[in-house]
Amino acid sequence: MAFFLSPLPVWIPPASAGVRDVPAGRWWDVAEAPSSVVWGAMARLAWRCGPVVEDQGAGVARWFVAPGAAEAWALGAVRILGHGHYVGVPPADWTREPVRWLLPPRGDCLTDAGALRDALVADVVTVVTGREAPTAVPVATCSYCRHRVEQRADHAPDCAWQPGRAR
């Protein structure tokens, strides 16, 4: 049994429930990035890092930020999940695979969206493009499938319409 100094948020499921799908946009939005960048971003955030869930099956890490705080981001490998999305949230003391807390929740603490964006920019750009400079990748929307893609990309890799053009 884990011991927590502050009460857990109401959106954390009990240990007996396992992973529960919780609606984003009410208590938080989620910034989802490739698992390959999670440790670098957490190190850059240090004490400013709020709860982080890793979904090893999907290969992503998820930071919980204030609703609406990250909706205007344009980082190619980062997806923002807000109103209309559901996020798998494990019990607070669950560190088992495939969905686990890398940094468990503490009270109502969320990650500051601006600090998270700054922490992710260097890692996401390096991982996605191979560049070393901490600059954001320009993002566009595929005119057919509406997926976010890099502006210089022809279309989203999983787009069903191969000859599509990003606009």
Residues 126 and 143 in one domain: no
pTM of the prediction? 0.71
Please check whether residues 111 and 145 belong to one and the same domain: no
Q: Break the chain down into helix, strand, coil percent, rounded to 5.
A: 20, 25, 55
Tell me if 54 is assigned to some domain: yes
With bands split at pLDDT 50, 70 and 90, how would you rate the model's confidence at 126?
low
Q: Which pLDDT belongs to residue 125? A: 56
Place 75 in a pLDDT band, splitting at 50, 70 and 90. confident
The DSSP element (H or E) to which 53 belongs, if any, is strand 52-55
Tell me what the pLDDT averaged over the chain comes to: 77
Q: Are residues 33 and 86 in the same domain?
A: yes
Instruction: For residue 148, name the pLDDT band (cuts at 50, 70, 90).
Output: low
Whether cis (ω within 30° of 0) applies to the bond prior to 98 is yes
Q: Look at residue 146 in the predicted model and tell me its pLDDT.
A: 52
Asked if residue 4 is part of any domain, the answer here is no
Same domain assignment for residues 70 and 121: yes
Q: Distance between CA atoms of 111 and 93, rounded to whole angstroms?
A: 19
Range of the domain at 111: 18-132
